[in-house]
Amino acid sequence: MEKRLIYLDNNSTTPCDPRVVDAMLPYFYEKHGNAASRNHPAGWMAEEAVDYAREQIATLLQADEKEIIFTSGATESNNLALKGVFEMYASKGNHIITATTEHKAVLDTCKRIEKMGGEVTYLEVDNLGRVNLAELEAAIRPSTILVSIMWANNETGVIQDMKAIGEICKKHGVLFHSDATQAVGKIPTYPREMGVHLMSFTGHKMYGPKGVGALYVSRKNPRVKVTAQMDGGGHERGMRSGTLNVPGIVGFGKAAELARLEMAADAERLSKLRDRLESSLMKMEETYINGDVNNRMPHVTNISFKHVEGEGLMMTFNQNIALSSGSACTSASLEPSYVLVALGLGDDLAHSSLRFSLGRFTTDEDVDYAVKAITEGVNHMRDLSPIWEMYKEGIDLSQVEWAEH
């Protein structure tokens, strides 16, 4: 096979669209002003660029531009939302509800809040990765101030029933935050329509630059306030101090505009490519798709190849294919994916999983290349596996499953 990189890890990060880069370039040198410098033209020009980007992002979300607070990325946005609400609404209560399959940026923030005296309920999910709505509603207490449920999961692409969760939160007068990092720019994400009051997202997951993100904060029905987590000059309406990353924000805005115009076409093309990838790989025995196949992102699939260790399988590609064997943000750990374990997968299937996340620049040829390489890799590893040989011979593996580890 020709040695070239096939990039199928777009949930980890997307390449910057060249049109985004073109929009950003002037703001590194020619238009280098600080958006907070309001006493000369360089500052005015930067402020105007930031305002326009804020408008582009708000238009994508069908929101008001004043509801967009710029941050350094979704991790900061999650921290600002959860800690900011916890501190601002301390007089009302100290209880937060989230799910076990959230990104570490939410789970670790919740752990921090627990150390600060907060109480957190971690909801389990079913074998498709969906939150049980009845359990969510039953978990709400008089002291509950916030529900935080991600829009789409980073490992499986599973989409939660945002509308129903929003209605439950409204019924009980509880704020609703969503980590929508994997959804914004890929599918319609309209927080007002879904009853979402705070929403985190970032530029580099939607063909924009790294190092810039945003938090949507509702200004009406209800008007939400958060306590700032960074003190300084009172930028971003007092919610997030710090000199704005003007080139990054310009790129973020351009990425949002492109997403609004091209999202539907991208989703249609990528869902067909994803389905083709799946149907080809599923021809192999003992191959399973993880998560809800009816409610998921159009470009994502998570597949387990039983009796094949995922990390080892990726080594057979000679680094020709960029994939993830779990959450990219926890890939340093040898533990099985906590998201897949939450779906009820055993360690063997969890360890044998690969996440495929296609993107705007993925081609038919890329998918064909990946299918061929993965099929050859799986067959090669199974040929070397005594466990697979016993399976083929019909031997009961329940007594020898330990041998895989």
- b/e map 185-209, b = 16+ CB within 10 Å: bbbebebbebbbbbbbbbbbbbbbb
- Name the residues annotated as catalytic: 329
| CA dihedral sign, ordered 65, 70, 76, 82 | negative
150 contacts 109 by C-beta, under 8 angstroms: no
**What span, in angstroms and rounded, lies between the C-alpha atoms of 378 and 286?**
11
Give phi and psi for 322, each to the nearest 5.
-90, 115
The three-state secondary structure class of 45 is helix
Q: 358, 370, 360: which is closest to 300 by C-alpha?
A: 358
Helix (H, G, I), strand (E, B) or coil at 121: strand
Contact in structure between 150 and 11 (CB atoms under 8 Å):
no
Given a contact cutoff of 8 angstroms between Cβ atoms, the answer to whether 331 and 324 are in contact is yes
Element (H, E) at 369: helix 364-383
What are the residue ranges of helices labelled H in 35-121?
41-61, 74-88, 104-115
Rounded Cα gap, residues 202 and 204, in angstroms: 6
> What is the residue whose two structure tokens read 């509880």?
174
The phi and psi torsions of 135 (rounded to 5 degrees) equal: -65, -40
Q: Is there a contact between 267 and 186 (Cβ–Cβ < 8 Å)? A: yes
For 404, other C-beta atoms within 10 Å of its C-beta total 18
Q: Determine contact, residues 170/181, Cβ cutoff 8 Å.
A: no
**DSSP letter, residue 27:** G
